[in-house]
Amino acid sequence: MDRRAFVIGTTASAAALATGPVSAQEAFPAHAITIVNAFPPGGINEIVTRPLASAMEPLLKQPVVVETKAGAAGQVGAQVVASAKPDGYTLLSHNTGISGYAEVDKLFGRPVKTSRSDFIPLARLIADPVLLLVNDQQPYKTLKEFIAATKTKSDFVFSSGGLYGASHLPLAYLEKATGPLNLRHLPTNGGGPAITAILGNNAQVTTQSVSATLAHVKAGKLRPLANFGAKRSKFVPDVPTLKELGYDVEYYLWVGIFAPKGVPQPIVNTLRSVIKTAAHGEAFTTILANAGQELAYLDGPDFQKFWDIDGKRTDEAVISIGKQG
């Protein structure tokens, strides 16, 4: 064999061997991805996250596992992901409540465990209007009747998914507009348990999303008195907005997907692209519609802009609740 050809061939083979493992290392994803759902079963995050994960799997050609890590109004799951290895294999499904965790820690004089800077927003999926609801054992048919009753009765219990969480914050917005309401707060460990509490009359009033409560509304178990959205929901078109009723209040329980800070930009880009395709697919949007929900998609950069503004409003609500407490 020609010695020169042998040297060239050997060099080329060595280069191929050298680049092979590097390419394998750069391939993403090489194994299953976990999306941590920071809330218990039955809430809006589970309703949205599980079908999204299913829609992502064929695009990624890897399993996408939803793992529940509930507790402390979503803080437990947030802390798990914030401390995870920033390789794109551990993501977070969270909602409006994530915005105020740093302010809550400051309020109680605690070291800040997680803040908005610990996460990279990948996509906002929905922005579900919140309803003010009473159960079927209450006689109130309008918001006016209910507010009047709170002025004279002291046994109303308000259930939420946790102190300073996404379904507690709307109360701060409402009281800012109406004045103090005579409600005792029952914090639970998520939207699902908060709904269970009102269904069992352990609470008489709650603020929860349209999609998480629509089945109970249709069954007559829960009665919506007002909608926190800017416009009426097509799923409960007879329910007036707070703005229609004379209160300048607007609030949504949004759900978004996050990565921990430090994930390399190429992986972030891959995840954003896959989530966007999955979220706009017919399978996912059909499931949303069946749950009384509409896609309100924001891609990462636009989601970040929205979150910056929404986060400041959340901080104000947390401070407002703290002053009342």
Res 214 pLDDT > 80: yes
For the chain, the average pLDDT equals 89
What's the DSSP call for residue 245?
A: T
User: Strand runs (DSSP E) across the chain, as ranges?
Assistant: 33-37, 64-68, 90-95, 119-135, 156-160, 183-187, 205-209, 222-227, 252-260, 298-299
d(CA 236, CA 215): 11
pLDDT digits (tens, 9 = 90+) for 283-312: 999 999 888 788 999 999 999 999 999 898
User: Which residue, among 279, 281, 278, 276, has the nearest Cα to 299 in the 3D structure?
Assistant: 276
Compute CA 161 distance to the chain's CA centroid, rounded to the nearest angstrom: 12
For residue 325, what pLDDT is reported?
A: 56
CB atoms within 10 A of CB 269: 12
**Band of pLDDT at residue 1, cut at 50, 70 and 90:** very low
d(CA 240, CA 244): 6
**Pairing between β-strand 90-95 and β-strand 33-37 as defined by DSSP bridges:** parallel
pLDDT digits (tens, 9 = 90+) for 138-172: 999 999 999 999 988 888 999 998 888 888 989 88
For residues 248 and 211, which has the higher predicted lDDT (pLDDT)? 248
Q: What is the mean pLDDT of residues 129-144?
A: 96
Q: How many residues does the chain have?
A: 325
User: Which residue, among 319, 299, 296, 313, has the nearest Cα to 44 in the 3D structure?
Assistant: 296
Q: Are 273 and 88 in contact (CB under 8 A)?
A: no
For residue 324, what pLDDT is reported?
A: 65
Q: What is the mean pLDDT of residues 198-209?
A: 96
Q: What percent of the chain has pLDDT over 90?
A: 63
User: Which residue, among 153, 169, 183, has the nearest Cα to 322 in the 3D structure?
Assistant: 169
